[in-house]
Every structure is written in C-alpha cells, then in structure tokens.
Chains A and B, each alone.
Chain A
Amino acid sequence: MSGALAAAAAPRRPSQARAALLRGQGLVGLVLVGIVVLAGLLAPVLAPYGPNEQLADGNLLESTAGHLLGTDEVSRDVLSRLLYGIRVDLLVIFIAVPIGAAIGSLVGLLASTWGFADVIAQRTFDLILAFPALILAITLATIMGPGVVTVSVVIIAAEIPIFGRLVRTSVLSVRELPYVEASTVVGASRWWVLRRHVLPNSLESLTVQLAVSMSVAVFVEGAMSFLGIGVRPPTPSLGTLINDGMRNIYVAKVQVVGPLVAVVMLVLGFLLISQSLGKARRG
C-alpha cells in the first residue's frame, strides 16, 4: 500500500499541469486573463476611438450609447483608453516579469553551482527583499523619474530575488533526489543534470510563481500610478485610469468601473491559474 500511496504522491508530467489549466479554476483564470489580454491586443480593432483622441461629445459623460464607459476630463472615450491602457499592463506583465524571472533564474542557477556567487547572490537577494516593494518603487522612481520604464525596472528588481531563491532552492533540492544522484554517479555532467532533471522539475514551480508575479505586477503598476510615480499621462494604463476614475467618482461613476474590472480580472485570473497549477503540482 505504501507503494501505491507513494505513486499517487509522485509529481506528474507537465501535461498534468496543462490539463489543470483547461478545467475548473484554471480554466476560469485562463479565460479571465485571456479576455483582458485579447482586449488589449485587439485594441486597435475594438476601440471605437483613439486612446488620446479628444472628442467633441463633451467631457465627463456618464455611460452613453456612443461611450459605454463615458468620457474623461478632456473628452476622450474611456473605453478606448481602457483597451489601449491594458497594453501598458501587458507590457509590464509579459515583458518585465519574464525578464525579471529570467535574470533571477540565471542568478539562482549561478548561485547554486558556484559557492562564491552563492554568497553574493544570497546577500543581494536579502538586500532587495529588505525593501518593501512599494518603497523600492518610490526610491527607484526618485532616481529614474516616473514612467513605464521605471515601473518595469521596479518589477524586474522585485522579481529577481524571488526567482533567484526559487531556482536556487529547487536546484539544490532536485540535485539531492536519488534519481539525479544516480545520473551523477554514472557520469552525468552538471549541465546534463540541469537540462534533463533540474529544469523540467523547476519549471512547474517557476510557472506557478510566474503567474503569482504577474498578478503582483498589475498591482505594482496600479499602486505606482496611483502614487503618481508610475505611467505618465497621457499614456493610459490601468493604474492611471483607476486614478482618474477615482478622482471623478462623484461626477462620472462609470469611469472607474472598466479599469477596475480589468485589474480584478487580471489579478484574479493569474491567482486562479497559479492555484490550479500549484494544485496540479502537488498531485
């Protein structure tokens, strides 16, 4: 019986994770994220107006037939701005986070193979993690000035230690697994072990973390834009749109609804994806 239990507890193939994404929680998450991503990608097709096009229909309109989400202070169509604004967040989510993850993973790999690098990497990670993310954001914004680039740098900087530690721990633990030792004993090189065992094994926990980090990235962009150190006007982003909408909440209530829903869909979606992947991983 112990054998059967052990078999059930053994990690599954990645296809299991793929399957987890296609049902239940995972599917809901995927759909939520997918809708927002698609809306952003198809912005030029879907948006009735340009993101910065000032219209003659009047400003701070509530929802009308022509402007489902109303217009903003300078008479721009909020729906169009929302669709284009998603793109900034997509940039942050799908470029900044993976860059941070890649750098962090590389550093983690290096740290797990070379003792000296390990000491340096570990202390660096400690150091970055010792700054709460938002304070790190404010600090970097002071040096670099606000903007999308700063938001991305903050996210990259915040992700490096997270992925670095994750990869380092997972390399070290995978390397001690009996079957990896068995390969080492027959003469597998470090590179071989890395490629054949460590990476496939770490991939799942990395994907889970990637999803979590992507939801955090949406948060960071929003919080930074809210504090005025994020994306700069007139560029729309979910954070700036929420900020604008909140500012006009007594006049045009509908303004804030769109970006808010998009943020919640993204964060919730990524959260659900990470949960379902995590569950699949635990078996």
Chain B
Amino acid sequence: MAERLLEIRDLAIDFAHPRPAVNGIDLDLDRGEIVALVGESGSGKSMTARAILGLLPEGARARGSIRLEGQEVLGLPETELDRLRGERVAMVFQEPQTALNPVRTVGWQIREALRAHRKVSRREARARAIELLARVEIPEPEVRVGYYPHQLSGGQKQRVVLALALANDPVLLLADEPTTALDVTVQAEILELLRGLRDETGAGILLVTHNMGVVAAVADRVVVLKTGDVVETAATGALFAAPAHAYTRQLLSAVPRLPEPGDPVRLVEPVATVGEPTLRYEDASVVYPGRHGQAAFAAVDSVTLALAPAEVLGLVGESGSGKTTLGRVAAGLVPLSTGSVWIEGEDLAAIGRARLREIRRDLAFVPQDPAASLDPRMTVAESIAEPLDIHSVGDRAARRARVAELLEAVRLAAEHGSRLPHELSGGQRQRVALARALALRPRLVIADEPTSALDVSVQAEVLALFAELQRELGFACLFISHDLAVIYEVADRVAVMRRGSVVESGPIEQVFANPTHPYSRALIAAVPEPVPSSPAGAGLGEMAS
C-alpha cells in the first residue's frame, strides 16, 4: 500500500511572455516510486519540477495545487519554501559541470546544505559529507571531500550533486535530466545509483527526461507531456507495450534503436572499394604539447582509417575520445603532429594553399551546435549561398536557383530563405546547415554530432533527410556521434574511438552484432534501450570503465 507523496492537480504555469509553459497538469507520485516525466523541448517538464520547489524563473506564475505529503506548497512564502527545499524535497540538475560551486570544496558545499536546516559542527558535517560521498559511491571519500569540483570527473560531479540532494534525507527527489550530459557508460552507473537509493531510502523520485531509454531503464510509471499538456500516463511496461496516444507512439518510433539479438541485420549495400578512398588517415596523430609541467596529451593517437567514396563512416566514442579532433583533421582545421591524411589521393600536408582551396570545394562541414552553425547576421539564403559565393559559382540568378533547390531538398519552404537563424527552430537550422554543406555538391561531408542537440522527433526527421540526401547525392561522409543508435541508423561502417585510438572498426552490422573489443561491448551494452527491462531493470550496469 503505497503512501501518496506528491499530488499535483491542475497545475498551470504562465510566463509574462506569451509562451504558456504548462496548461493544467495532474500528477501523482507515491513513496518509493520512480515516475518519469517525459517530453521534448518546450513541453514544460522542467517547469513542472521547478514549480514543486517554488523555483520558477522570474516572471513565471503557477496556479493550481501541489500537495506534498498532503500539505499545499504552492504559494508558500519564501522562508517556508527554504525550510522545505533540501529538507523534504531535493533536486538534481542536468548539468553537473555547472551545478556545483567551482570555488568551494565538495565538503564545504555539503556542510552548507546541512547548515541550511540544522546546526552542525564542522566535524559532524565532515563526517556526514564523507558518509554521503561513500553512499553515492565516490571512491576515497575522505580525500575527495576536500576536492574542488574541477578536480572531479563529470560522473563524479553528478554523484556529488546527488550527495548534496541526499544530505538531509529528503522524501522526494526531483531529477531533471540527471544523465543527459553524461557519457553512456556513466549514465548507466548514475541510473543504477538512483534506483539503488530509491530502494534504500524509500524516497520517491520524479525523473524529468527526454530519453525513452532512460525511462525504460528506471521508471515505474511514465507521464508524457506535450507542449504543456499531459497526453498519457501509464505504467512503464504498459506504455512501451501499447502506447495509447499518437504522440507517444510517434515519440517511441522516433527513437533510434540498436539491433536486438535476433533482429534482422540491417541491409548495407556493399560499397565499391575500387580506386582511391575519399579520405584516408595514415598513422595520424595529434599531440598537444605539455605546457607548464603538464604532460603532453595525444588527442588522436596513431589512427589509420579509410573512407571509400559514397560511404558513411560512423565515428563513435565518449567525450574526450578524440573523435571530433579526427573530424577536424580531415577538414584541415587541425594540423597533424605525425602521420598523414589523404583526400582523394592527395596528402593535405604536402599540397599548397591554392590546391587546398580547390580540394575544399569538394568538402563540407556540418557543425554540432545549431545555435552556432549559422552566422546570426546572414539570412538563410545568404548562408546557403556562401559556398557558391566563395567559389564564384555561376551568376547571381544561377545561385539563387541553386539556393531554392537546396531549400527544397532539405524540406524548407522558399520563404525561409529570407529569415534569420534566430527565427528558426533548432531542427530547421540544422537543415539549413545541411543545405549549405551540400551547396557545392561535395564528395566528402564531415558531420560533427549534427543532431545531438535536437529533440528525438526532430533528430529522426533530420537523420532521415540526411540518409535520403546521401543516397541521392552519393557523397562520402564522416559522421561523428556519441550516440550509438544514431550511428547505427546512418552509417555503413563504424569506427569506435577511445582515448585517441580506434579500438575497433568494421561494417556496422558486424561491430554492433559481434563487438570484438571489450570497450565496444561495454559501450553497446550501456545504451539504455527504449524497452522496459524486467521490473527492477536487471541486466543494466555492470561494466568495465
């Protein structure tokens, strides 16, 4: 018989701006229960969580009712809220890099959290801090308690954030995208930890996430939000098995998936390997010299890799694996320390600047961040036409025609051409970036995480578009991503990178079905599948790091 912890009725949040955040949400959460609040950007899921703590941004106003253990918390004065925050309800935030105070030690921050609610001596606080750090499985807590945040890894930081949240034994934990910024292997560990804590303390957890895999891995129940409205509430198993609402179905289908054992192997047309590869790395290394007593650091370490014409090579790895650097090497943005990189049979280091420009005509680059992928001062049409302008392709009319053609190719209306980037959505901007990359009909496209900042449904559309264009235009592509499922969706071959080296490469179906390197295996295993595991989600977690 579960005890009702949180009861949200008819919650609506208004901004002074025209955008309504939340329209009337109902949500219940019991002690010991993990409820996932799922939705895409702008669905209001974060605002809902923040409303529980009274931490809405300036100008936002909440109406309705939020009852915590039967007590109405909406509209409590600030001092009352301060008593509630951290003590009964705690929150874990998305970005562990910035969620901690950079100039205070971990121990200090925990002490401050304790002091907010009770008198503690320095010694008691330290003891409690060490206990908490041990509880969130930070090794050597006696040492780490004196560390500053920057001395910890991303995963450890998130554990510290968790420790802070647990400091005063709250009954309700709000976790706002707690693993989004983390690598998959770390994500798996944190999710495991969350579940363990729930089991241990019996606290309720409201998990705010956009990731269906995460939902499947840990949640007991799911609440699906779409632009401020609850579209579906169901037990996790039921939801995944039989999504009732069309939006939920769409959301689920948009999630890129890895092959299940027994799935039909994805059909990859064999790529012709005759002639020069479009891109070839020969024992390529990028070493950043050690400065001021720090050791030299090899971002890319002796990589040998080839990309055939019209082939899509997925480059996958966790943060710091060197995959982005390798992409920038091919684009000529980063010089090699040793080894060589060849484009269509020419050594980039050996040719002159003029030849390099010519080669670059056949090259394109799609950057990651949609906010920075376009010059904010140039209209969409100007941005797309820029490569044509650079190489003075055709006359003005011809260029205009080409821009129209490209807009159409990336499924944008002609009137988008006169817009400025900030007037577009993230997905639209990445499409413009794609159109711009394709303007000169390149033979090689380097795409660095082109979809990782997008919502799943948008990502699905962009990926589909990309695949279609690639088939149509037949360019070779180096596709860089941390997301194995995305790679699986678009790539013909895959190379797995770790600490600057390629640990495994091969045709996609081979690597995903039978990874030979232990790291590839761990990486693939850590991906939370958007399929609910058995009630406790067994099978997740144990892995080498």
Instruction: Report if A and B touch in the complex (beta carbons < 8 A).
Output: yes
Q: What is the interface of chain A, defined by CB distance below 8 A to chain B?
A: 1-4, 6-14, 177-189, 192, 196-197, 200-201
Q: Is the CB of B363 within 8 A of A189?
A: no
Q: How far is the CB of A1 from chain B (nearest CB, A)?
A: 4
Alpha-carbon separation in the docked complex, A233 to B117 (Å): 71
Q: Which of B333, B369, B454 contacts A185 (CB 8 A)?
A: B333
Contacting residues, chain A, for B375 (C-beta < 8 A): 179-180, 196-197
**Interface 9-mer from B62-70, B75-83, B432-440:** B432-440
Alpha-carbon separation in the docked complex, A177 to B365 (Å): 13
A188-B368 contact, Cβ under 8 Å, with A3-B41, A4-B42, A178-B373: no
Alpha-carbon separation in the docked complex, A4 to B40 (Å): 12
Between-chain CB contacts (< 8 Å), 18 pairs: A1-B42, A2-B453, A3-B41, A3-B426, A4-B42, A6-B371, A7-B423, A13-B420, A182-B364, A184-B331, A186-B363, A186-B364, A186-B440, A187-B356, A187-B360, A187-B391, A188-B390, A192-B390
Tell me if B's interface is mostly helix, strand, loop or mixed. loop
Q: Which of A1, A10, A197 contacts B46 (CB 8 A)?
A: A1
A3-B370 contact, Cβ under 8 Å, with A187-B390, A187-B391, A196-B386: yes
Closest 8 CB pairs of A and B: A178-B367, A3-B426, A6-B371, A187-B360, A185-B365, A1-B41, A186-B387, A187-B357
Alpha-carbon separation in the docked complex, A12 to B387 (Å): 23
Q: What is the interface of chain B, defined by CB distance below 8 A to chain A?
A: 41-43, 46, 331-333, 356-358, 360-361, 363-378, 383, 386-387, 390-391, 420-426, 433, 436-437, 439-440, 442, 446, 453-455
Contacting residues, chain A, for B422 (C-beta < 8 A): 7-8, 10, 12
Q: Which of A2, A8, A178 contacts B372 (CB 8 A)?
A: A178
Contacting residues, chain B, for A7 (C-beta < 8 A): 371, 421-426
Known: A187-B391, A192-B390. 11 other contacts (CB 8 A): A1-B46, A7-B422, A10-B421, A179-B367, A184-B360, A185-B331, A186-B440, A187-B357, A187-B361, A197-B375, A200-B377
Q: Is the CB of A178 within 8 A of B368?
A: yes
Task: Please count the residue pairs between chain A and chain B whose beta carbons lie under 8 angstroms apart in the complex.
Answer: 115
Of chain A, the residue at the smallest CB distance from B455 is: A3
Q: Is the CB of B377 within 8 A of A14?
A: yes
Contacting residues, chain B, for A13 (C-beta < 8 A): 376-377, 420
Alpha-carbon separation in the docked complex, A184 to B328 (Å): 11
Of chain A, the residue at the smallest CB distance from B365 is: A185
Alpha-carbon separation in the docked complex, A9 to B371 (Å): 9
Alpha-carbon separation in the docked complex, A131 to B171 (Å): 61
Q: Is the CB of A185 within 8 A of B332?
A: yes
Alpha-carbon separation in the docked complex, A18 to B423 (Å): 19
Alpha-carbon separation in the docked complex, A56 to B259 (Å): 102
Q: How far is the CB of B447 from chain A (nearest CB, A)?
A: 11
Q: Which of A10, A177, A182 contacts B437 (CB 8 A)?
A: A182
Q: Which of A8, A10, A186 contacts B390 (CB 8 A)?
A: A186
Q: Which of B372, B390, B440, B442 contacts A179 (CB 8 A)?
A: B372
Of chain B, the residue at the smallest CB distance from A184 is: B333
Contacting residues, chain A, for B332 (C-beta < 8 A): 184-185
Q: How far is the CB of B335 from chain A (nearest CB, A)?
A: 13
Q: Is the CB of B331 within 8 A of A11?
A: no
Q: Is the CB of A181 within 8 A of B41?
A: no
Q: Is the CB of A185 within 8 A of B364?
A: yes
Of chain A, the residue at the smallest CB distance from B446 is: A185
Of chain B, the residue at the smallest CB distance from A197 is: B375
A186-B360 contact, Cβ under 8 Å, with A1-B41, A4-B41, A8-B422: yes
